[in-house]
Structure 1
């Protein structure tokens, strides 16, 4: 190993050098003799509960590589907690193989052998668990420690060709003490900040050829509508992925079945805007980090979303529009990211055949900042189309981020502009965030994106001290004022709200948030005084997690078209009963009053769920979601709005290969049906 001077170490940060080996090693969790030839690091720093102090237990990490794989061996001293369904020890490895200082893969391995993977985005501001990669892991439990081996094939990830220094971060969680340790020092609000990663030196992928994946899917679905004959719907699809280079990937799908194994959750929407649902379909998840505008991941900022993948193959009366085929090309390089996507959908009921296209370019500047362009469009024929062209820029410096987005839309010849921007940062002990948006009255991306509030203009700002306490019960405390100025669509006058927030976090993983907003408000041709009070409390105590939240708002009710009070009360509870079995309970109450302050209806959601984890790759979940409505205070007249009983058996038989058995039994006052499904996704790669 080449010696490195202390001055270079100071300038570059922490370094772990990869040691080359000639042949692959067996991944079983046991660190054999070959591991002791590798460079190692053990200088972890505590993040929780006492920031910056030495860890209570020792962790040693080593790195190896052969021609085709990157390996990590991690020895975790101290007796581990192992629990398939609850709080247990884990290690996490994150790598930035492009030197982007903004984006990284992460690989998490629990002491039980369970695992997770995904993306770290926006320099740690956002996390995305939708990436499903090909990698291998092994865990060995010993009396005084546990050991983890991780194998990552170079062909399974994208990396910058010729770059021999990758960003890397290691994390260890100790369940018995709830201690969290990182290899490099991280900040309180930015624990996954990619720009603070250490260096993995000497990485030299030598694999030749192309990584090619064939991903067939087989699906049999049985629909049983009471009073009708059963409908049996067998189907098959083919998905392809071809890594043309380590930076460039071509993917395709032909007659895919995008039926959802898990349905979207019930949500009572009292606003004027449609609910935004998360993407779950594999073809659209691949490379989706390229097609998105930057975000802060904190909820106060809304990017100009001119590409919303759930518009493609959208649901019409519960049925997805069939997708005949789709192709996607993505490429990442040191200076620019590129993406092209095309999809063609079939007709369904009143929905005609349509073509969708998306193009994306993002240029990297100033180490970890970027400028980008995005073009999206839908076309049915010459007279029915929807196009949008947008620009986004993000500047990052330390803990500070600035974002600006702008786009122009064209819906059948009618055009308009939309602009949004925001800031998030820490300056000393002062935490500040701000956002603005101005959406043109005719801005319309309803067929390709999600920005359903044309004509809205808004500015908000929060700022206050973020205090940290080295010792004692209280760990963090944020408090500060807020200002929101907004003009709603169709209104001439501006709403002006003042608010305040206080958020304490205790050292025992308990926290809360209290906020209040007040001021003149104008919407739906109505002038009134807006009032909003929010209170939430949460705690995470090992195998028990509990969250309770409540809100009261005096606001316009778009479901009933009048101004009145609304309130909500929610609860989430999760408990590991025995190591393989956990109970999860979600409950939500919505209260609606009329303008005379009379309670007119209460809507209740109760969703218990049992999850039995057979082993690291196999699980069985059973849930029941009941939605009830109660008129006024007449609890004896409570009626069932809907009930959905679900069962899901999932077996991850090999990387990216899944076998599912699913059952959904749904009934309401108007309808009742059962859907049973068996699905197999099997990856063939070479």
Structure 2
């Protein structure tokens, strides 16, 4: 058996940001109260901008239809303190916006009134989820852990279309958004003579946070007006400053919030019939015209482990209702990475992600073994027998993500035209998959340090043909850090990564010659091949 140990790769990136305070005018009167200015919460002198939330009385409820016609909204404290970020940074908005928060023990409600001087100019294009198009929208950003790094975004357009995504690492750009986060929440929007209104209901069970008698979330609100190309914010982060979540204000005074953490067991039974037309295949193909019957049963389990961690498990999962991947023609030398849409792997995946180590779509993917025969009926995917994960964040700032899965052995059916015989060839051995990630937050500036690792082990026999196609084992590990100093003005980021694979010489050679490496190219005289 040959082994190969990749060298550790260390990358250091240093970012410099500057925070400039607003000087007090010398001509200002002594009793003038200085205006609040945006600031990073990593600075000791930063004073947070805050909002309150009204707790509903027993028996009060909200019909989430977007109309704001419940009497309770008259008692809510609406704020209209918004500032332009685009196109005229720091200027007052050209349109007035009012927003308020109310809540119950189980859900957070948002009511918003977006005024418009000409309601006929409001763009309201009905679109599918997570595709707002060019519609006007209101976006609520929630840092539920109040860690000044990560946040959830929930948005509704003037047409009532919903968008939601997750963003990590104190960032605000489209590349960092994870649209695979799809919580269960409701929203409504109505256009009227004054503009438009919206109501949002966000169950606390769809957010991750540390429980307590009194909670506070980091928050920021954004209204986008496409007819004017205008972006206004409750906290308008200066365009020349680094960071995003670290500038958020706070939603305070959430008392008596309860997230139910019962044991949920959801069994399922599913069946499918697949009919194939012979006209689409060669006449000699025995697999071209037949009816395939598939029946399966399984279950999903979810339960809380203490106040901060969640255990999820699935047995023989069925992902037949998951949205299919779009067709894509890849003419490059690199594989296509499709987004994860399977519910089990989506929830909490931000706690498992690392820099390029873990791609969950490999678990349960199409088998990788090749078969030499006249006609082959090849499995579309690998069966996941069972998978489990533990995710969460402790009150001490430790983020935990651990996942394990077992996939079944898969075989392809073959047919030999000359002999007229059917056969079977193994194309995927049973495999064990594992990934673990730990990240600790520390210091007033919100520095982090973490470790993560992945592992794959395939059950390959000593005379298995797959020995020459697949590696028996593959492991990787990573340490990363993000050190914030001088009140978060400077950041020192870095990571160290190592990997190890083991298999036969033929399997190792396939890895080296794969398009992601191309060790055989003439100019690669610096690698051992």
The verdict on a shared fold, with TM-score over 0.5 as the criterion, is yes
Give secondary structure in 2 for the equivalent of 1:35.
helix
How far apart in 2 are the matches of 1:443 and 1:66? 60
Give secondary structure in 2 for the equivalent of 1:124.
coil
Deviation at 1:267, TM superposition (A): 3.0
Corresponding residue for residue 168 of structure 2? 121
Deviation at 1:406, TM superposition (A): 1.6
Select which of 366, 371, 380 maps to 1:315: 366
Give secondary structure in 2 for the equivalent of 1:139.
strand
Corresponding residue for residue 524 of structure 2? 490
Q: In the TM superposition, what whole-angstrom CA distance separates every residue of 1:216-242 from its partner, at most 9, and x where no partner exists?
A: 664635242524113243445433333
Please list, as runs of the form range in 1=range in 2, the aligned pairs for 1:556-595 lying within 5 A after superposition.
Answer: none
Give secondary structure in 2 for the equivalent of 1:275.
coil
Closer/same/farther in 2, CA of residues 213 and 123 from structure 1, 3 Å limit: farther
Corresponding residue for residue 372 of structure 1? 450
Q: Contact 1:159/1:246 (CA < 8 Å) preserved in 2?
A: no
**1:404 lines up with 2:494 in the alignment:** yes
Deviation at 1:192, TM superposition (A): 8.2
How far apart in 2 are the matches of 1:223 and 1:401? 58
Give secondary structure in 2 for the equivalent of 1:138.
strand
How far apart in 1 are the matches of 2:240 and 2:317? 40
Deviation at 1:279, TM superposition (A): 2.2
Corresponding residue for residue 161 of structure 1? 211
Corresponding residue for residue 280 of structure 1? 341
Q: Contact 1:388/1:445 (CA < 8 Å) preserved in 2?
A: no
**1:183 lines up with 2:234 in the alignment:** yes
Q: In the TM superposition, what whole-angstrom CA distance separates every residue of 1:269-324 from its partner, at most 9, and x where no partner exists?
A: 332x433333222211111101112xxxxxxxxx3x22221221121367111101
Q: Contact 1:155/1:211 (CA < 8 Å) preserved in 2?
A: no
Corresponding residue for residue 102 of structure 1? 149
Give secondary structure in 2 for the equivalent of 1:289.
helix
How far apart in 2 are the matches of 1:451 and 1:156? 40
Closer/same/farther in 2, CA of residues 232 and 406 from structure 1, 3 Å limit: same
Deviation at 1:379, TM superposition (A): 1.8
Q: In the TM superposition, what whole-angstrom CA distance separates every residue of 1:230-257 from its partner, at most 9, and x where no partner exists?
A: 3243445433333445532111111113
How far apart in 2 are the matches of 1:232 and 1:13? 61
Select which of 272, 277, 281 maps to 1:220: 272
Deviation at 1:130, TM superposition (A): 0.7
Select which of 477, 484, 493 maps to 1:389: 477
Closer/same/farther in 2, CA of residues 189 and 443 from structure 1, 3 Å limit: farther
**1:16 lines up with 2:51 in the alignment:** yes
Please list, as runs of the form range in 1=range in 2, the aligned pairs for 1:653-664 lying within 5 A after superposition.
Answer: none
Q: In the TM superposition, what whole-angstrom CA distance separates every residue of 1:485-544 from its partner, at most 9, and x where no partner exists?
A: xx9983339xxxxxxxxxxxxxxxxxxxxxxxxxxxxxx99xxxxxxxxxxxxxxxxxxx
How far apart in 1 are the matches of 2:151 and 2:162? 17
Give secondary structure in 2 for the equivalent of 1:195.
helix
Corresponding residue for residue 345 of structure 1? 407
Closer/same/farther in 2, CA of residues 36 and 214 from structure 1, 3 Å limit: farther
Q: Contact 1:238/1:253 (CA < 8 Å) preserved in 2?
A: yes
CA RMSD of aligned residues (A): 3.5
Closer/same/farther in 2, CA of residues 261 and 74 from structure 1, 3 Å limit: closer
How far apart in 1 are the matches of 2:35 and 2:436? 41
Select which of 126, 137, 146 maps to 1:84: 126
Q: Contact 1:409/1:444 (CA < 8 Å) preserved in 2?
A: no
Deviation at 1:167, TM superposition (A): 0.4
Deviation at 1:409, TM superposition (A): 2.3
Q: In the TM superposition, what whole-angstrom CA distance separates every residue of 1:160-196 from its partner, at most 9, and x where no partner exists?
A: 2236321001011123223211110124388981111
Deviation at 1:386, TM superposition (A): 1.9
Q: Which runs of 5+ in 2 are unaligned?
A: 1-31, 38-45, 128-132, 279-287, 368-377, 412-426, 462-471
Closer/same/farther in 2, CA of residues 454 and 187 from structure 1, 3 Å limit: farther
Q: Contact 1:68/1:205 (CA < 8 Å) preserved in 2?
A: no
Q: In the TM superposition, what whole-angstrom CA distance separates every residue of 1:628-655 from its partner, at most 9, and x where no partner exists?
A: xxxxxxxxxxxxxxxxxxxxxxxxxxxx
Corresponding residue for residue 25 of structure 1? 61
Q: In the TM superposition, what whole-angstrom CA distance separates every residue of 1:594-651 from its partner, at most 9, and x where no partner exists?
A: xxxxxxxxxxxxxxxxxxxxxxxxxxxxxxxxxxxxxxxxxxxxxxxxxxxxxxxxxx
Deviation at 1:393, TM superposition (A): 1.5
How far apart in 2 are the matches of 1:105 and 1:246? 20
Corresponding residue for residue 370 of structure 2? none
Deviation at 1:63, TM superposition (A): 1.2
Corresponding residue for residue 193 of structure 1? 244
Give secondary structure in 1 for the equivalent of 2:276.
strand
Q: Which runs of 5+ in 1 are unaligned?
A: 294-302, 415-441, 457-486, 494-523, 526-686
Corresponding residue for residue 325 of structure 2? 263
Q: Contact 2:271/2:293 (CA < 8 Å) preserved in 1?
A: no
Higher relative contact order (CA 8 A, sep 6+): 2
Q: Contact 2:205/2:259 (CA < 8 Å) preserved in 1?
A: no
How far apart in 2 are the matches of 1:185 and 1:12? 15
Q: Contact 1:156/1:211 (CA < 8 Å) preserved in 2?
A: no
Deviation at 1:25, TM superposition (A): 2.0
How far apart in 2 are the matches of 1:88 and 1:216? 40
How far apart in 2 are the matches of 1:292 and 1:237? 27
Deviation at 1:359, TM superposition (A): 1.4
How far apart in 1 are the matches of 2:113 and 2:509? 55
Give secondary structure in 2 for the equivalent of 1:70.
strand
Deviation at 1:340, TM superposition (A): 1.3
How far apart in 1 are the matches of 2:398 and 2:519? 33
Closer/same/farther in 2, CA of residues 353 and 246 from structure 1, 3 Å limit: same
Point out the structure with max Rg over C-alpha. 2
